[in-house]
Structure 1
C-alpha cells in the first residue's frame, strides 16, 4: 500500500545504529520499534489503523472516564462515549487527529497538535511529542502548554505493547516498580506472568538514583529483556496483558505497559490531576530499551 493510502497517514522513520522506529501522522502514534531486526513493541502494519490503543498518545486524559462526565472550573463537561459497552470515554481526544511534523532529523521526529475547545473539553492546549533514538534506546518527550485564559485539567499517557517475540507472554517474567491499590498483584520483584490477567494501574512507583522508575519484561529462555522507564512526571503504569484485544490471535502475545500521569477517572476524582495554569507548560519523558537479560 502506498503511503498516501495508509490509514495512519504519513510515516516518519527514524534510525540509530541497528534501531528503527516509525511514527505516524495520525495520532503521532508509535507504529513500530525494532532493534537488530527484533520487534520491541507489537504495533500495526502500514495498511492497518491502530487497534486496542497500540502506540497511541492518550491526551488530555489517559484511560477511562466513567460516563464521560466530569466537573471542573465551574463547568459541567460531557465527553463523547467511545467505549459504549462500558459507558465511558477512553484515552482522550487526540488519537485520531492529524499531527503536524515540526522537527526532523535522522534519529528524531517531533510532532505537534493544537487541541481546541470542544464538547467534553473546553480548554485550548498546544501539544508536542518528540521521539528520539540514541545509544540508550527510544526516548519520548511530551509537552503541553495551556493557551486558555483559565486553568485546564490535564493528564497524558502512552500505550506501547512490549514484546519479546514469543508466541505468548505466559512464560515471561514481569517486574513493575509499584503496586495496585488492592494489593492483589505484586510484581515489584520479577514474577512469572503465567495465566495472570492484568488490566491494572500501578502507582507508588519506586524511583531509582537516576530519577526514573523502570519496568521490565524478560524472556529467561533467550536471555532477552525489554525495559520501559518513566521520569517522575509519570506517576502510574497501566499494565494490560491483552486478554481482550480485538483480534483473538493477538491476545496475550504482548504486554501493554502504559506511562500515565494520573490514574483512571482522574478528571472525576481529581487524583493526581494536573491543573495547568494559563500560559504554563508541563513536560515529561519516558522511554524503551532492549537489553540482555
Structure 2
C-alpha cells in the first residue's frame, strides 16, 4: 500500500498554463502556479501544513472570541485552538481528511463531515470543488445541514498570495473596501467598523493601488466595491506589474487581509493572506454587534454555497 504524505492524499490539477495541487487534509490548496510562477505560498506534500496555509475554513472562518458563543439560547464553549489569544480559530474542518468523490485532470471534488460534538452539535456535510480554467483556480464550498435543527455557518479560504519576487513589503495592493473592522491590538477582538480613511489611512486604505510597505495588517474589511457582475477583486502586483488577483461574489461580503507577520524573519511576510469570508470575525456572536456580521443560519436540510477564484496578472 502506497504511503500517504503527511498533508494527505495529493490531487494534481492542470489546465493550460495553470497547475495546482490540492492536499486532502483540510481540503488545502498546497500550491498554485502559472507558467511555473507561484501564485500562493506553497508547502511540501510531506510537511505538516504550516498553520492554516491554503486550508478550507468551516463551519466558521476567523475567530470566535474566547471560544464562547450563544446560539438558539444555548451558550457553548469551543476548544481554544488559538491559545496565544484564547480564541477558537478557523473552524473544525481544517484537519479533517477530505475524500475525493469526483476527479478529472483539471478538477477535484472533496467532501468531509463535521460530526455533532459538544461545542457544535450539528452534522454538516462540507463539499468543495477545485477547478482550473483559463481564468485560474475556482474553489466552491457547499454546506448541507443534515441535522434536525438550524446550525450557525460560515466559510472561507486561507491562501497566502504571492505577487512575485521579494516579500509583502515590495508589492502593491489594490483592495476595494470602504470599511475596516478595528480590533484590540493584543487579542484582535472586534471593536468597531470605521471608514478605511478615518483613523489610519496609511495602514488601511488601499482603494487606490499603492505599495504595501512596512504596514502590518490583520483585519477584516467590508463595504466592498464590486463590478457590474457583483464581483469584488483584490490585486497584488510586483514592480513589473505582474502578480495575482483574487475575486469573489456577494456570497462573501467580508475579506480578511493579513500581512503574515511572524517572529522569525525568515518566515515573515512571505505572502499576503487574502481570505474572502461569508461572515465577519466572531459572527457566531452576531447579537453582540451593531453591524451585519453575515452569519448564516443553515436550516435543517438546507444548503449554502460560496466560491472564489485566484488567477494570474501578467
TM range (shorter): over 0.9
Separation (CA, whole Å) in 1 of partners of 2:264 and 2:283? 29
Q: Given that residues 164 and 237 in structure 2 are in contact (C-alpha distance below 8 angstroms), is that contact kept between their aligned partners in structure 1?
A: no
Return the offset for 1:171.
2.0
Tell me what 2:265 maps to: 248
Residue 267 of structure 1 pairs with residue 284 of structure 2? yes
Task: Report the RMSD for the aligned CA atoms in angstroms.
Answer: 1.4
Deviations 1:86-117 (A, max 9, x none): 01110000101111101101100000011111
Separation (CA, whole Å) in 2 of partners of 1:250 and 1:149? 45
Q: Given that residues 3 and 10 in structure 1 are in contact (C-alpha distance below 8 angstroms), is that contact kept between their aligned partners in structure 2?
A: no
Return the offset for 1:84.
1.0
Unaligned 5+ residue runs, structure 2? 181-192, 288-292
Question: SS at 1:250's partner residue?
Answer: coil
Residue 218 of structure 1 pairs with residue 217 of structure 2? no
Normalised to the residue count of structure 1, the TM-score between the two structures is 0.95
Distance 1:26 1:10, change over 3 A: same
Separation (CA, whole Å) in 2 of partners of 1:11 and 1:66? 34
Question: SS at 2:294's partner residue?
Answer: coil
How does 1:96-115 map onto structure 2 within 5 Å? Answer: 96-115=95-114
Question: SS at 2:243's partner residue?
Answer: strand
Greater shift in the superposed pair: 19-28 or 181-190? 181-190
How does 1:142-157 map onto structure 2 within 5 Å? Answer: 142-157=141-156
Q: Given that residues 3 and 9 in structure 1 are in contact (C-alpha distance below 8 angstroms), is that contact kept between their aligned partners in structure 2?
A: no
Tell me what 1:43 maps to: 42
Question: SS at 1:253's partner residue?
Answer: coil
Separation (CA, whole Å) in 2 of partners of 1:169 and 1:97? 30
Q: Of 184, 196, 205, which aligns to 1:186? A: 205
User: What number of residue pairs does the alignment pair up?
Assistant: 289
Residue 92 of structure 1 pairs with residue 91 of structure 2? yes
Separation (CA, whole Å) in 1 of partners of 2:173 and 2:51? 21
Return the offset for 1:52.
2.8
Residue 140 of structure 1 pairs with residue 158 of structure 2? no
Residue 232 of structure 1 pairs with residue 250 of structure 2? yes
Return the offset for 1:153.
0.4
Q: Of 298, 303, 313, which aligns to 1:276? A: 298
